[in-house]
Structure 1
Amino acid sequence: MTWLSLVTLCFLYNAFCIPLRSSYPYQTTENWIYWFMVDYICDAVYIIDMLIIKPRLRFTRGGIQVKTLADTQKHYLMTRTLKLDILSILPTDFVYFAVGKKPIYRMNRVLKINSFWLLFDMLDNSFANPYAIRIARTLSYMIYIIHCNSCVYYKLSAMQAFGQIAYLENGKWYLNKWVYNNQGNAYIRCFYFTAAVATSTGNNPAPTNVIEYIYMTCSWMMGVFVFALLLGQIRDIVSNANRNREEFQRKMDLALGECLKQETTNRVRDWFIYTWQQQKTLDEKKLIEKLPLKLQTDLALSVHYTTLSKVQLFQDCDRALLRDLVLKLRPVIFLPGDMICLKGDVGKEMYIINQGILQVVGGDHNEKVFAELMQGAVFGEISLLAIGGNNRRTASIRAKGYCTLFVLAKEDLNDVIRYYPQAQAILRRKAAAMLKNDKKSDEKTEKIKQQAELEDRCKINPRQVPKLITLIANMEEMNENKGVRDLKKAIEEETDKSRRQSIYYPWSTLQRDDEDEEEWNEEDLSSVGEDTDIEPMENHEGPMDDDVDPMEDIDLAAEVSHSDEDDDWEKPGSSGTKKLHAD
């Protein structure tokens, strides 16, 4: 395309400059050498293109591209392009020796117009939006026609001395105001006049002679037919460019008219606008439905195959299966806050994130965010096969922002997989293994959770010391204070006492008094039940009532009243201390 652009540039130079130099006084005796240098450089480009480049261009014969040099040369010799190239390079410059240096005799260089058309055809096929290229091509035709017409107008003005020759009308002499008066920039003024005449705009001066009448008639006819045709082409190009937009706007207006609530209307409008920005259409399949199935598959593979092959369920599957599945993927756009699926719903689709971020949420109002799924993530693939009836969603998924997902429906998978029985067995086996691993992981997580709850429930917490007191005791700058040291010592003793008590009585958090603890530690419990003075139950006279406590009628005060004078009973902690033990 680079060489073709160079050839086209040379063609445009000849097409515009040859009429310009032939009419306007831009080629003079001082600068003609520079014009001629550029002319012959363009001629050299023409010759190289005809002798070296064109004979090597490939062509199609019988549906097969021919690349051999002998065949391409023979094909070029038989085309009409060779004849036009030869005519465009004929050395008409030799006429200069007879009539002088008049560039108009080089007008045959314009026959290289095939290069101009070929370049615009290639640009039209190369750009995703070729409407601008088509408009530029049509405008170039209009500009060139006005350019050539302005050159003729200037030449007619020069022939009539730029209006200085008077003409007789109704017995009076008038100066010709129709021609250019040689004031200001000649090219701009003449170009403006011819453009106004061709488009029939402005108050054009009346012609004064036959030549001027013929010129004006041809200009008006050109404006009526040629320019109307070119403007009609531009209108069609612009209309085709906006056709999809108008159809999209019509469908959006119909959808918005069905909405009753303002919130729903805003969300529907946002969805339409975002869809147009991303896809420029509401249904991508309509764009390729006219293509052959092979091209549709290749186009879908170029877009979806890499993404689909990353799905764990479809790894190591037959490539033919994936080729059929990519045709079933369809893009779906979700707005911020849309719920993709809810926990407990029946799963009928698998999702692949193409663009955006999704959130795994939970809670009564989906206020908790457990994780985020990025581009390329896949979820819902197990529900496609429904192994063991596991076709329920295990989590709720919400769109964080605008998201584009590829969706594979369960019906589409079943339609494709029935033709691949071996792949069907592999998919079911892999799905069962994935489901088993998920169950093991869930059981392990649940077991760890239960163990943690049990440990937390059975944990024995010693009596805690207030944090404020501990903080004060641990301050380094106050360690030298006697009061602080005493406080710290008291805290340590209290902590040791609590720990010792929790060891002796691990089944209870009740605390015993210090005096009782010392008595229990010093007492010998070996004689429990030996030295009791309680009379046996059989010596008790009278009937035994089931509701009466057997220990209720024992008069313990009578047993010990005779020893009130004994000092040993009134000295607690002495070596002769006695206590009453009841079995």
Structure 2
Amino acid sequence: MRVQCVPQGVLTSNFLILYFQDFSDSFQILHAGRALRILRLAKLLSLVRLLRLSRLVRYVSQWEEVYFLNMASVFMRIFNLICMMLLIGHWSGCLQFLVPMLQGFPSNSWVAINELQEAYWLEQYSWALFKAMSHMLCIGYGRFPPQSLTDMWLTMLSMISGATCYALFLGHATNLIQSLDSSRRQYREKVKQVEEYMAYRKLPRDMRQRITEYFEHRYQGKFFDEELILGELSEKLREDVINYNCRSLVASVPFFANADSNFVSDVVTKLRYEVFQPGDIIIKEGTIGSKMYFIQEGIVDIVMANGEVATSLSDGSYFGEICLLTNARRVASVRAETYCNLFSLSVDHFNAVLDQYPLMRKTMETVAAERYSMWFKQIQSNNNKQGLTQQRIFCLRLNKIGKNPNIMQQKDDGEGNADSNTISAVVNALAAEAEQVNNISFSSDESESLKKINSDMSLNEMTQSLRMSLPRPKSGEFRALFEGNSP
């Protein structure tokens, strides 16, 4: 059929039908296009996968606990905050670009103003992220201020949420930085309090210097309430921690080398850490002993009454046990020659442990007898220039007793009472020697000194004095031996 043969009415009616059909199809396509755009919003549901970041944070926390990342934990938390800040900026930037895109990029939108409609996706994302971060950090609106109502509302929403998150970020980061080394911060606060106290009390400069140096050496820039921390642990865990902390002491002290592991554990759990400066008097002669000490690090001098140094002790040695065994007064002073890191054991804990391990008590009594012998040898050498004295006589007797193999028994000898093996032998031998004091041959000078002593003191009085000079045991049975009574 040719066109010129088509009636005009037919052409008009067909055109109108085709026109409305095409309009209907166009409307459907346009409507479908908007629907497809709206359906794109469904893709936002895929952002739910980002919630898996919480799992990552949880895994990081577990890694910190398993691998003991204590030092790096704070840095890891700060890194998590920075990542969270960037994530919020990413979401805000995507929202800043999504709304104009759904609107078809109006001419007054920030995307159209920056001519980013056909730009590469990385450039679009970079400008969107820059705009969002500018809002979050409250430094501006981006490249241009908002020109449309939609951009204005998006800008306000982004600035409010971003500023809130930024403030929370700063506060949390500040707390993390402060807790980066809380022990050092507590140490600085403690030193500041001490300085204010010294200024308030108007202490002399040299004393302030000693106090400052003590804190520096004692705490090494870190302050812990170790007793509180250990007190909150279980008994087994506390014992394991203390044994680990004292491992170097146990390794350096020969006394612990062959000792029973249970005995060593019972001792170290009752030790208390102490620090002394050079020149400090750790033990003063004539005082009643309440502690014994183990040297972890440092050198101490055993000082006689005349100021002469009898001997020196260093790492791995211990001292002060004699008076704890005998309940006597200190027979010599102990002075710190260098900075000394010591562990002290109180008399109550000392007796409580040795009551459970009699063989170890016997061993310590043997060592104490040897040390008494060495001490009186020193007195003997000092008294040679001054004539015979009571200490001279006592020194001669105790020197023989200290070398008596019946007294110096081995540690693995478990027969007999640990108290009587040493103490009774010392008392009986000394009493027997004291009765025969006149049978000893002395030089002319010593004889004159002895006569002078005998003129002032009878033999019974001398024997009683010698008994009183001996260390006095705690039990009533052995105390009677020293007082001259029958047990």
For normalisation by structure 1, the TM-score amounts to 0.47
Paired residues for 1:456-475 under 5 Å: none
- Aligned partner of 1:207 in structure 2 is 146
Partner of 2:246: 304
Highest Rg: 1 or 2? Answer: 1
1:272 paired with 2:215, answer yes
Deviations 1:233-266 (A, max 9, x none): 3344344446555544444333333432122222
Aligned pair 1:332/2:274, yes or no?
yes
Confirm or deny: 8 A CA contact 1:350 1:381 kept in the other structure.
Answer: yes
**Inter-partner Cα distance in structure 1 for 2:126 and 2:314:** 60
Point out where structure 2 has 5 or more consecutive residues left out of the alignment.
1-38, 387-487
Decide which of 134, 142, 146 is 1:196's aligned counterpart. Answer: 134
CA distance in 2, matches of 1:154, 1:297: 62
Match of 1:358 in 2: 299
2:194 aligns to what?
255
Distance 1:104 1:179, change over 3 A: same
Change (3 A) 1:415 1:190: farther
State the Cα distance separating 1:283 from its structure 2 match: 3.0
8 Å contact from structure 1 (residues 178, 206) kept in 2: no
Give the superposition deviation at 1:149. 3.3
**CA–CA separation in structure 2 for the residues paired with 1:146 and 1:217:** 14
Please give the alpha-carbon distance, in whole angstroms, between the structure 2 residues aligned to 1:384 and 1:269.
33
Match of 1:397 among 335, 345, 359: 335
1:329 Cα deviation after fit: 1.4
Q: Which residue of 1 aligns with 2:321?
A: 381
Give the C-alpha shift of residue 292 in structure 1.
Answer: 1.9
Paired with 1:157 and 1:411, the residues of 2 have a C-alpha distance of 82
CA distance in 1, matches of 2:116, 2:100: 5
Contact 1:180–1:190 (Cα < 8 Å) also in 2: no
Structure 2 CA distance for partners of 1:273 and 1:190, relative to 1, 3 Å: farther
Kindly indicate whether the alpha-carbon contact (under 8 Å) linking 2:272 and 2:344 is maintained by their aligned counterparts in 1: yes
Q: Deviations over 1:470-520 (max 9, x none)?
A: xxxxxxxxxxxxxxxxxxxxxxxxxxxxxxxxxxxxxxxxxxxxxxxxxxx
1:405 Cα offset (Å): 2.0
TM-score normalised by L of structure 2: 0.55
Counterpart selection for 1:414 from 325, 336, 351: 351
Q: Secondary structure at the match of 2:316?
A: coil
- Whichever structure has more helix as a proportion of its residues is 2
Tell me the secondary structure at the aligned position of residue 385 of structure 1. helix
- Asked if 2 retains the 8 angstrom alpha-carbon contact of 1:353 and 1:376, the reply is yes
Query: Structure 1: how far apart are the matches of 2:312 and 2:378?
Result: 20
8 A contact 2:301–2:337 mirrored in 1: no
Contact 1:300 1:327 in 2 (8 A): yes
What does residue 134 of structure 1 align with? 77
The 3-state SS of whatever aligns with 2:274 is: strand
SS at match of 1:350: strand
Match of residue 392 from structure 2 = none
Q: Report SS of the residue matched to 2:82.
A: helix
Once the two structures are TM-superposed, the CA of residue 267 in structure 1 deviates from its matched residue by: 1.9
Alignment-derived partner of residue 371 in structure 2: 438
Counterpart check, 1:147 vs 2:87: no
- Measure how far apart 1:299 and its partner are: 1.2
Is the contact made by 1:275 and 1:282 (CA closer than 8 Å) also made in structure 2?
no
Deviation at residue 298 of structure 1 after TM alignment: 1.7
Output one character per residue of 1:306-328: Cα deviation in whole Å (capped at 9) or x when no partner.
63476455666554443333222
Q: Extract unaligned runs of 5+ from structure 1.
A: 1-98, 169-174, 454-583
Q: CA RMSD in A?
A: 4.7
Alpha-carbon shift at residue 407 of structure 1 (Å): 1.7
Letter matched to residue 404 of structure 1:
N
Whole-Å Cα distance in 1 between the matches of residues 79 and 175 of structure 2? 14
Question: Quick one: which amino acid aligns to residue 145 of structure 1?
Answer: I
Q: Does 1:426 align with 2:365?
A: no
Equivalent residue, structure 2, for 1:284: 226
Count of aligned pairs between the two proteins = 335
| CA spacing shift, 1:262–1:161, aligned 2, 3 Å | farther
TM-superposition CA deviations, 1:183-228 (whole Å, max 9, x none): 9x94666544322211323465431224423432331232244444
Equivalents in 2 of 1:196, 1:372: separation in Å? 71
The verdict on how the C-alpha distance between 1:157 and 1:276 changes in structure 2, with shifts beyond 3 A counting, is: farther
- Counterpart CA distance in 1 for 2:148 and 2:70 is 52
Contact 1:198 1:222 in 2 (8 A): yes
**Structure 1 CA distance for aligned equivalents of residues 174 and 69 of structure 2:** 20
Aligned AA for 2:145? Answer: A
Question: Offset at 1:333?
Answer: 2.5
Structure 2: distance between partners of 1:382 and 1:251: 37
Give 3-state SS (helix, strand or coil) of 2:246's partner.
helix
Residue 367 of structure 2 aligns to a residue in which SS? helix
